Structure 1
């Protein structure tokens, strides 16, 4: 490549449709014969489940958003305005005179619930957009890191974030910006000027993950302000990634809301994609007895994962691990339920409210529906046992009251 203005002709062609889905998809190789292998071999191979990536509609939208943002950012480099901004950034470092010539509002957010695959989608998209880790240019002569990914500090420290950006650039380009900043004991104001200059010359796009940390920190608005100044002084695109917790922060003021326009996602619905995702996960079986996935198992997985794909992967992985270690060697509802009870206990409070299917899925074979009768305080549906007696029995014998009620009457669970 000789000219940064020709970046659109150098980047991989923007994909869409089935071509994009195929390019984003990751399906590790699987040999059914491994089910007859040693326990240690199977347990090690079981980790391949975490490498599976099946693109969703969210993946396609994130790819398109990042591709266009990166392209806009790169087209600004090497222009007359970029040269003028370099001079202004030098004055900012030496004389503390800030002036943003590049301007623009090239920031956006990707907000979604934890575990739905935001970071994985971003990683896959960036790998597809930037096939090379470094873009080399002769006119002007420079090396550009296509994308720098950093995490928002837990205390929203502006200085900590800026130093991390310099450190990431040094890792790729083998430069010494980070060491020089530490040696000079640079203040936050000096660092903003330095990072702006580095970003203008060497960074295509900046991704700040875990941005929800700004919501619970007194330094939150200062950090967002520094990112705004970085945009104005460098012209690069900045993507902020976080959980819905950050939404309240961005909605609190107009100047923050302007910076948070972007993509928002919730847990996925019980649709064709979720069903196909579960079927693909069940192909990777490392227990000796192979089983086929059923509609009942898919519904169970949805109810016990709240529609969060990472929880589905954890359930299928841990269920097989428990089955192998216990010697049962089968992936079924019993092993899945054992994984849910033993390994995911901390998530029960977040998952249980999602039950909305309105049907029992603890067994593959479902019985005919039983009419739900009105139950009074002193009488159950069969007229023999009172609710008070059941509560007393559950308390005295330390029995789960929900299971006890289910065994004596028709109980319908509803979403709250």
Structure 2
């Protein structure tokens, strides 16, 4: 048994927490300002290191990769969510109460095999879903480390496990996850549960019962399940069984569960509305990448993040920050923090090794083209902004359009609308139609053109009819070549204009055409630069 820190009790912040040793032994509830200072990690750049040889300096630069964390609004929201889950989950598990040990006995005799078939939905279950590389796991681990993982209560002879983080196995196996659970318990407490409870002949149901018993015995504050999307690879019924168990765990023992995963995990919560609610009982968090606004070109959080990252330079004379460089990084990373940090580190290494001692556009572009080539398809998908394209990559943005496709195929009831509402509806219908065509296998370059053409010809048709029309046209056999005996009338081709199409700037008046091109930014006034 590892020697655990003894409990030090604090005054309860609110009346519900009074007389709860498990809650009052926790650190104080943090304000957003304290949380930001607590989570922020900025590696130190020593002046003496800036003159070291390149092959040594690049090792110092590696601090950028594992010692940089810039807290955002999402970090603050996540910290508040975890803080609430732990404390509210402990309310019904008071080790100072007279009925505490009786409740433990009830858990030990609970038939989890029967309960698993009919799990309730009143649970402290939540989720953090976001694309890979946005820092979900790093943020959660930083927040969990702000709490002692285990606390010993001498007055109650009780070992409290404040948090436990377990990674979902790649095969989505229930037994493998239970094994990971017991191993994590042993690492935290120095126990031997894995040796005692993991047997080759143990059934998944019996192991889940042991997980529940151990969770209750050590008052687990929050159970974090990372990479939850791996459950979708499990054998038939495995994912449903696992989700039912987690909900049962929270219902019977009141252990909050936090799921972490990529957008692929959303499919686990979609079969029924009840299961969708399971992942949002305590407030789910859409952990997105940094965003940009159309008006200003860059969101404030992205700008603050990039400026702070840009300061980590191991050059004698730092390369000045410019908006152009920030825009370039956005173009190549699309606001994914992990990729932005990696691109900055690799660009700086190349600048040092090549003797350039500064980061310029050419270096960043070459690094992106050569060393981040594997990321190009994903970045291109995000850059396109098309849901159908993004859906091809399970780890990217949350496929909101995929969640709406089924309802989009159902014709909405007819009701009078004003002109602006009608325009918005047409635009929304176009986006949904493009997404559906993408799922049908129509190329991303063709789908928008086909969808626009169909809507232009039949603007009042519902999505069912439009899809059927396009499918019918697609299945038509090619026309036979023309012969003298059977002349065919050629259909006149009509141009299909896209957004910001330069053909629309043309005018019969040459002066007007020039003014239009100048207004659109195609033509610039060179005299201003002379």
TM-score (norm 1): 0.79
Aligned CA distance change for structure 1 residues 6 and 142 (closer, same or farther; 3 Å): closer
Q: Distance in 1 between matches of 2:502 and 2:145?
A: 57
Shift, 1:169, TM fit: 0.5
Alignment correspondent of 1:321: 349
Shift, 1:312, TM fit: 0.6
Per-residue Cα deviation, 1:265-321 (whole angstroms, up to 9, x for no partner)? 322213111111111111111245521110000111111111111111011011112
Q: Does 1:26 align with 2:48?
A: no
Q: Distance in 2 between matches of 1:40 and 1:74?
A: 52
Q: Does 1:280 align with 2:308?
A: yes
Select the residue among 303, 312, 326 that pairs with 1:298: 326
Kept in 2, the 8 Å contact 1:85–1:233? The answer is no
Alignment correspondent of 1:178: 194
- Report the 3-state secondary structure (helix = DSSP H, G, I; strand = E; otherwise coil) of the residue aligned with 1:239: strand
Per-residue Cα deviation, 1:176-217 (whole angstroms, up to 9, x for no partner)? 111012358432122111111110122221000111122343
Q: Distance in 2 between matches of 1:118 and 1:263?
A: 10
Alignment correspondent of 1:405: none
Q: Distance in 2 between matches of 1:214 and 1:73?
A: 25
Q: Does 1:225 align with 2:241?
A: no
Q: Distance in 2 between matches of 1:98 and 1:82?
A: 22
Q: Extract unaligned runs of 5+ from structure 1.
A: 358-370, 382-408, 412-416
Alignment correspondent of 2:145: 127
Alignment correspondent of 2:106: 88
In our comparison, the structure showing a higher alpha carbon Rg is 2
Greater alpha carbon shift after TM alignment, 281-290 vs 63-72: 281-290
Alignment correspondent of 2:82: 66
Alignment correspondent of 1:235: 254
Q: Distance in 1 between matches of 2:354 and 2:8?
A: 61
Q: Does 1:267 align with 2:284?
A: no
Q: Does 1:212 align with 2:229?
A: yes
Higher relative contact order (CA 8 A, sep 6+): 1
Select the residue among 132, 152, 163 that pairs with 1:114: 132
- Report the 3-state secondary structure (helix = DSSP H, G, I; strand = E; otherwise coil) of the residue aligned with 1:328: coil
- Report the 3-state secondary structure (helix = DSSP H, G, I; strand = E; otherwise coil) of the residue aligned with 2:42: coil
Per-residue Cα deviation, 1:216-251 (whole angstroms, up to 9, x for no partner)? 433221221222232234221100011111113212
Shift, 1:47, TM fit: 1.0
Select the residue among 344, 358, 361 that pairs with 1:330: 358
Q: Extract unaligned runs of 5+ from structure 2.
A: 1-6, 10-18, 293-298, 386-499, 511-520, 524-530
Q: Distance in 1 between matches of 2:383 and 2:207?
A: 49
Q: Distance in 2 between matches of 1:292 and 1:327?
A: 18
- Report the 3-state secondary structure (helix = DSSP H, G, I; strand = E; otherwise coil) of the residue aligned with 2:91: helix
**How many correspondences in the alignment?**
364
Q: Distance in 2 between matches of 1:196 and 1:56?
A: 35
- Report the 3-state secondary structure (helix = DSSP H, G, I; strand = E; otherwise coil) of the residue aligned with 1:240: strand
